[in-house]
Amino acid sequence: MKFCPMCGMSQWNKGATSCEYCEYVEKSFDLLSPLEIGELMSSYEYTVLDDGVRIDMVKNGRDISLRGAVAIPHFVKEIGLEAFAGCKFISRLDLPKSLRYIGDRAFAWCRDLFDVYIPESVEHIGKEAFLDCHDLGVVCVASPALPDGWDEEWLSGCRARIEWSSVDE
């Protein structure tokens, strides 16, 4: 299931690029205005890259600003060092197929996180990226085995089961 990064409503159509609830439409990064990027990234401190955005950190009050299922916007290419660390009420992450980099401890201490799907585009996952995410049950990864650029300790402190797949959902 995919979630809208603007309103958070679930999208039932696989491969959907628009939201039937809030009229959000995914556009190529180079077609987005700074205002549109700012609206979609309002919960984050971020850096604009040549071809997308890096999330540097969650704004104001990690305990309450993001709750439930969180959809990372489709143009995010990188999630920086400890960007979501300590966000206690995130239960599910919807990572975009454009994502290529997840920094050290990016999602550490997200105590309610139980569901993550990592797309095949992710070339790097840093050390302890999901440190002490105790409720994390299953991590679905669109790769048949550990990719070369992933730290061997990316799931330190978790008892999560990894489901490896050679197909990106």
Per-residue pLDDT of the chain (169 residues; tens, 9 = 90+): 677 777 777 765 666 788 888 778 888 999 999 999 998 898 899 999 999 999 999 986 554 556 788 889 999 999 999 999 998 888 988 899 999 999 999 999 998 999 899 999 999 999 999 999 999 998 999 999 999 999 999 999 888 999 998 766 5
Taken in order of first residue, the domains within the chain and their CATH numbers are: 43-169 (3.80.10.10)
Whether the predicted model's global pTM rises above the 0.85 cut: yes
Which residue type occupies 32?
L
Q: Kindly give the residue spans of alpha helices, DSSP state H, lying in 13-163.
A: 34-40
Please tell me the distance from the alpha carbon of residue 89 to that of residue 77, in angstroms, as a whole number. 23
State CA 4 to chain mean position distance.
Answer: 13
Q: Greatest CA separation found in the chain?
A: 42
Which residue is listed with tokens 């201490």?
109
Paired sense of beta strands 68-71 and 53-58, if any: unpaired
Residue 4: predicted pLDDT: 79
pLDDT digits (tens, 9 = 90+) for 50-99: 999 999 999 865 545 567 888 899 999 999 999 999 988 889 888 999 99
